[in-house]
Chain A
Amino acid sequence: MRCGKSSLAGMAAVVAVAVLAVGCGSDGPQLAPVEGVVMLEGEPLEGAVVLFQPSEGGKPATGLTDAAGKFVLTTHEQGDGAQVGVNKVSVTKELPSANAANVEEGEITDVELGTPARYASPDLSGLTVTVESGLAPVTLELTWEP
Chain B
Amino acid sequence: MSRSLKKGFTLVELLVVIAIIGVLVGLLLPAVQSAREAARRTSCTNSLKQLGLGLQNYHDTNGEFPGGGIWWTNNINAANFARNRGSLLVYLLPFIEEKPLYDAFDMEQPPCYQKWPGGAVVNGSPYIAGSKISVYRCASDPSPEMNEITINGVQPGQLATFSYAASKGPTRTGNNPAGSCPERAAYDAYNYSTTDNLPAGPFTRMGRNFKCKMEDVDDGLSKTIFMGEVMANCALPIHRGWAHASNTQGMISTIYPINYDTCNQDQSKGPCHWWGNWSTEFGFKSAHPGGTNFVMGDGSVHFFSENIDHWTYQHLGGRDEGEPASLP
Q: Which residues of A contact B (CB under 8 A)?
A: 1, 3-4, 7-8, 10-11, 14-15, 17-18, 21, 27-29, 47-51, 53-54, 57-60, 62, 64, 76, 90, 92-94, 96-97, 100-111, 113, 120-123
Q: Are A18 and B27 in contact (CB under 8 A)?
A: yes
Residue B27 contacts which of A21, A92, A93, A113 (CB distance < 8 angstroms)? A21
- Nearest 8 A-B pairs (CB), nearest first? A103-B174, A57-B309, A94-B185, A92-B185, A49-B186, A51-B186, A108-B174, A121-B189
Contact of B182 among A47, A100, A107, A121 (CB under 8 A): A47
Closest B residue to A113 by beta carbon equals: B185
The interface residues of chain B lying within 8 Å CB-to-CB of A48 are 182
Q: Would you call B173 an interface residue if the criterion is a C-beta within 8 Å of the partner chain's C-beta atoms?
A: yes
Is A90 touching B189 in the complex (CB atoms < 8 A)?
yes
Instruction: Give the residues in chain A near B185, CB-CB below 8 Å.
Output: 49, 92-94, 111, 113, 120
Interchain CB contact under 8 A, A97 and B189: no
- Does B307 lie within 8 Å of A105, measured CB to CB? no
With a CB–CB cut-off of 8 A, which chain B residues contact A54? 309
The residues of A that contact B309 with a CB separation of less than 8 Å are: 54, 57-59
In the complex the two chains form, what is the Cα distance from A113 to B175 in whole Å? Answer: 13
The chain A residue sitting closest to B24, CB to CB, is: A14
A11 and B19 contact, CB distance less than 8 A: yes
Task: State in angstroms the CA–CA spacing of A18 and B24 once bound together.
Answer: 9
Whether A11 touches B188, Cβ cut-off 8 Å, given contacts A1-B12, A18-B27, A49-B183, is: no
Assess whether B16 is in contact with A60, with CB atoms less than 8 Å apart: no
Tell which of B72, B176, B206 touches A100, judged by Cβ atoms closer than 8 Å. B176
| In contact, A108 and B12 (Cβ under 8 angstroms) | no
User: Assuming the A-B contacts A29-B307, A111-B188, are A18 and B177 also in contact, with contact meaning beta carbons closer than 8 angstroms in the complex?
Assistant: no
In angstroms, Cα B185 to Cα A48, docked, is: 9
Determine if B115 is an interface residue (Cβ-Cβ < 8 Å): no
Q: How many residues of B contact A (CB 8 A)?
A: 48
Given that A90-B189, A103-B176, A111-B175 are contacting pairs, would A11 and B20 also be in contact in the complex, using a CB cutoff of 8 Å?
yes
Task: List, in ascending order, chain B residues with CB within 8 A of A17's CB.
Answer: 27
Q: Any chain A CB within 8 A of the CB of B118?
A: no
Any chain A CB within 8 A of the CB of B172?
A: yes
Supply 15 further A-B pairs (C-beta < 8 A) apart from A1-B12, A51-B186, A105-B80: A11-B20, A15-B23, A49-B186, A57-B309, A58-B307, A58-B309, A92-B185, A92-B186, A92-B188, A92-B189, A94-B185, A100-B180, A103-B278, A106-B71, A106-B196
A108 touching B310, Cβ below 8 Å: no
A3, A29, A108, A113: most-surrounded residue (chain B CB, <10 A) = A108
A62 and B24 contacting across the interface, CB-CB below 8 Å: no
B73 within 8 A of A: yes
Once bound together, how far apart are the Cα atoms of A59 and B188, in whole Å?
15
Is B74 interfacial (CB 8 A cutoff)?
Answer: yes
